[in-house]
Amino acid sequence: MAVVLCLLLIFALMAPSLDGQILGGPMHGKAVVCYVASWAAYRPNDGQFTLDNLQPALCTHLVYSFAGLNETTFTIKSLDPWQDLEKDYGKAGYKRIVALKERYPHLKVTIAIGGWNEGSERYSKMASSPETRKTFINSVMIFLNQYKFDGLDLDWEYPSKRGGKPDDKANYVSLVKELKEAFEPKSLILTAALGAGKETMESAYDLSKLSRYLDLIHMMCYDYHGTWDGVVGPNAPLRGLDNEDVLSVEYTVKYMISQGVSPYKLVLGLPMYGRTFVLNDASTKRLQFGVTPVESAGFKGPYTREAGFMGYNEICAEVSNKSSPWEYHWHEGSATAYLRDGARVISYDDPRAIAAKVKFAVDNNLGGLMVWSIDTDDFRGHCGIDDRTFKDFTDRYNRMVNDPLLQEALKTLKLGDEARNLHRGTAYSLTDGRLELRLPQPQLSNYQLMQTVNAATTLALEEKRILDEMSRVNRDNEIVQTLSGCSRPERSLALVSLLIYKLFF
Ligand SMILES: *[C@@H]1O[C@H](CO)[C@@H](O)[C@H](O)[C@H]1NC(C)=O
Ligand SMILES: *[C@@H]1O[C@H](CO)[C@@H](O)[C@H](O)[C@H]1NC(C)=O
């Protein structure tokens, strides 16, 4: 009896401590930056998202969106005091999001200023003189200290555009440089969200200078196409529709790197939403991105209620309906998904599209992934599991598993055996000398896209390690083959040079 009582007592004592336990975040080492739209709290029914719905273990950074700029005083301000602040029985959003760090010490929590609705003009004025910049920066320092944010994310959309002026490009660099100088002694984080269109990248940003002062650069790699094109198109194509097409994730990232941006500072933005279209002609047999004409406005989702836009959670609700009229398609060229029901089309990132972009980010050694925005992921868990999620990873595995180069690479790779790797959550392991791929299993029944971001990051990093070793083996084999055509002294000389080269580079 005493034992039972003791056990009960222990359980009773454990219950609150389990509740208040310290929880971890992503283990793969890449940044996972999650924007949180504070206005998602006003969405109806299952679309309503508050901080209680957030799962902070899925992210390394949270960015509370948005604060604004007072255009007369040039100081940072809350755009929704009731939602953001505590006074007058407000919802205390700032305090609550920062408080998540107590249970999730891995988290960095910053606040974004700007966004589309704030426009560009007031930022242009603020950035135009050293005095107004100083006023702004002082207000930011007070604000961050008051609410205990870890830093600021600049979302000026966009310097030199939408009512801005040509000087904005240089003034933006000054603003970022001076902010960084104020932040550095306090170890505050300075990041920015940048537009991904070619024209915006060229006219708004001095990229190599921005890369010097910003800690992370969040590339808004979405909204490449929408009803404004007059034709149907992918919201966020990984690859362009033809070789000349500059509206793609691939072009954006290559361009940024070519301009001197450090890859490890680049964070690839992923949309947790799609773009909707209404075809001019519902009877169109073959739908073609970039060709098939559409009406001037797309349709709305039931929660976000914005024409031409649909959250992944809303798309999910449509698709998971058993009597759903939607037909799923995969567009290989752009590596994106779309749904069609007669005249209605939704182009969007399904888990497979997200996994393809994560692989691209990892292959290009980027700093990580960003999502806009976590509140339109399937946070209620209505989607279920998508069998297509890791299709491309399995296809690549099946192609490489019988490659003789892989057998050679496995000798030097030192992959662990399955039992040990299972424990560490590793996807690839060695079993009886053979490479095995064990797909990551969902840890949660909701947040399908966010879980895909993290699982695909682990998969892509491990896959890259294997593929890199295979190409190293391949290079060495080629050298040996080339050398077999040489005379003995030539060969010795070449081998010694190679050895010296390998030692020093
Ligand atoms: C800007 O700040 C001033 C001074 O605090 C205040 O009187 C004014 O109402 C603010 N304007 C806006 C639009 O918030
Ligand atoms: C499912 O789709 C059918 C056909 O479009 C519709 O009538 C029904 O209301 C939908 N059910 C739900 C739960 O949305």
- Residues 1-15 have pLDDT tens digits of 455 555 444 444 444
Q: How far, CA to CA in Å, does 265 sit from each of 29, 59, 151?
A: 13, 17, 16
Residue nearest to atom 14 of ligand 1 (CA): 70
Which ligand gives the minimal distance to the CA of 45? 2
Residue 478 pLDDT grade (very low, low, confident, very high; cuts 50, 70, 90): confident
The neighbour count for residue 22, using CB atoms within 10 Å, is: 9
Is the confidence at residue 67, as pLDDT, over 70? Answer: yes
pLDDT tens string 15-65: 444 445 668 899 999 999 999 999 999 999 999 999 999 999 999 999 999
Question: From the alpha carbon of 324, which atom of ligand 2 is closest?
Answer: 2
- Angle at Cα 158 formed by Cα 198 and Cα 217, nearest 5°? 70
For a pocket test of ligand 2, which of 322, 323, 326, 339 has the largest count of ligand atoms closer than 8 A to its C-beta? 323
Do 201 and 252 touch, CB atoms closer than 8 A?
yes
Residue nearest to atom 9 of ligand 1 (CA): 70
Q: Which stretch of DSSP H or E encloses residue 258?
A: helix 249-258
Residue nearest to atom 3 of ligand 1 (CA): 73
Ligand 2: list residues with CB < 6 Å: 321, 323-325
Residue nearest to atom 12 of ligand 2 (CA): 321
Q: Strand, helix or coil at 433?
A: coil
DSSP annotation of 231: B
Among the listed ranges 6-10, 360-364, 429-433, 450-454, which one has the minimum average pLDDT value? 6-10
Backbone φ, ψ for residue 456 (5° rounding): -70, -30
Q: In whole angstroms, what is the distance from residue 166 CA to residue 179 CA?
A: 21
Do 337 and 353 touch, CB atoms closer than 8 A?
yes
Residue nearest to atom 1 of ligand 1 (CA): 70
Q: In whole angstroms, what is the distance from residue 238 CA to residue 333 CA?
A: 8
pLDDT tens string 143-197: 999 999 999 999 999 999 999 999 999 999 999 999 999 999 999 999 999 999 9
Indicate the residue type of 35.
Y
**Ligand 1 center–CA 135 separation, angstroms:** 14
**Ligand 1 center–CA 71 separation, angstroms:** 8
Which ligand gives the minimal distance to the CA of 324? 2
Question: From the alpha carbon of 322, which atom of ligand 2 is closest?
Answer: 1
The neighbour count for residue 113, using CB atoms within 10 Å, is: 22
- pLDDT for 154 equals 98
Taking the CA atoms of 449, 451, 456 and 457 in sequence, report the sign of the dihedral they define: positive
- Angle at Cα 167 formed by Cα 163 and Cα 170, nearest 5°? 125
Do 249 and 271 touch, CB atoms closer than 8 A?
no
Which ligand gives the minimal distance to the CA of 302? 2
The verdict on pTM exceeding 0.85 is yes
Which ligand gives the minimal distance to the CA of 322? 2
Give me the residues paired with residue 328 across strands: 339
Which ligand gives the minimal distance to the CA of 77? 1
**Ligand 2 center–CA 36 separation, angstroms:** 29
* DSSP string for residues in 91-124: --HHHHHHHHHHH-TT-EEEEEEE-GGG-SHHHH
Burial of 3 (0-12, 13-18, 19+ CB in 10 A): exposed
- pLDDT for 311 equals 98
Mean pLDDT value across the chain: 92
**Ligand 2 center–CA 326 separation, angstroms:** 11
**Ligand 1 center–CA 126 separation, angstroms:** 15
pLDDT tens string 278-336: 999 999 999 999 999 999 999 999 999 999 999 999 999 998 888 889 999 999 999 99
- pLDDT for 206 equals 98
Token pair of 47 as six digits: 């679309």
Q: Residues spanned by CATH 3.20.20.80 within the chain? A: 24-220
Catalytic residue among 157, 250, 314, 462: 157
Question: Can 418 be counted among the known catalytic residues?
Answer: no
**Ligand 1 center–CA 136 separation, angstroms:** 14
**Ligand 2 center–CA 277 separation, angstroms:** 20
Question: From the alpha carbon of 72, which atom of ligand 1 is closest?
Answer: 1
For a pocket test of ligand 1, which of 70, 85, 125, 138 has the largest count of ligand atoms closer than 8 A to its C-beta? 70
The neighbour count for residue 10, using CB atoms within 10 Å, is: 10
- pLDDT for 10 equals 47
Ligand 1: list residues with CB < 6 Å: 70, 72-73, 77
Decide which of 26 and 419 is more confident.
26
CB half-sphere exposure, 176, CA atoms < 13 A = 29
Residue nearest to atom 11 of ligand 2 (CA): 321
Total residues found in the chain within this entry: 505
Do 243 and 265 touch, CB atoms closer than 8 A?
no
Q: In whole angstroms, what is the distance from residue 117 CA to residue 115 CA?
A: 6
Architecture category of domain 24-220 in CATH = Alpha-Beta Barrel (3.20)
Q: Number of helices (H) and strands (E) in the chain: give both, helices first.
A: 16, 16
- pLDDT for 503 equals 72
Q: What is the b/e burial string over 420-446, where b = at least 16 CB atoms within 10 angstroms of the residue's CB?
A: ebeeeebbbbbeeeebbbeebebeeeb
- pLDDT for 403 equals 94
* DSSP string for residues in 264-331: GGEEEEEESEEEEEEBS-TT-SS--TTTSBB-SS----TTT--TTEEEHHHHHHHHHSTT---EEEEE
Backbone φ, ψ for residue 306 (5° rounding): -130, 125
Helix axes 93-103, 130-147, angle to 10 degrees: 60
Residue nearest to atom 4 of ligand 1 (CA): 73
Do 368 and 269 touch, CB atoms closer than 8 A?
no
Residue nearest to atom 13 of ligand 1 (CA): 70
Q: In whole angstroms, what is the distance from residue 387 CA to residue 2 CA?
A: 51
Question: From the alpha carbon of 321, which atom of ligand 2 is closest?
Answer: 1
- pLDDT for 16 equals 42
Q: Name the residue among 193, 151, 154 with its Cα closest to residue 175.
A: 154
Do 205 and 172 touch, CB atoms closer than 8 A?
yes
Backbone φ, ψ for residue 238 (5° rounding): -65, -45
Is the confidence at residue 420, as pLDDT, over 80? Answer: no
- pLDDT for 422 equals 57
Question: From the alpha carbon of 317, which atom of ligand 2 is closest?
Answer: 14
Q: How far, CA to CA in Å, does 185 sit from each of 213, 306, 415?
A: 14, 42, 42
**Ligand 2 center–CA 288 separation, angstroms:** 28
pLDDT tens string 382-409: 988 899 999 999 999 999 999 999 999 9
For a pocket test of ligand 2, which of 321, 324, 339, 380 has the largest count of ligand atoms closer than 8 A to its C-beta? 321
**Ligand 1 center–CA 70 separation, angstroms:** 6
Q: In whole angstroms, what is the distance from residue 28 CA to residue 9 CA?
A: 38
Give me the residues paired with residue 216 across strands: 191
Q: In whole angstroms, what is the distance from residue 209 CA to residue 393 CA?
A: 37
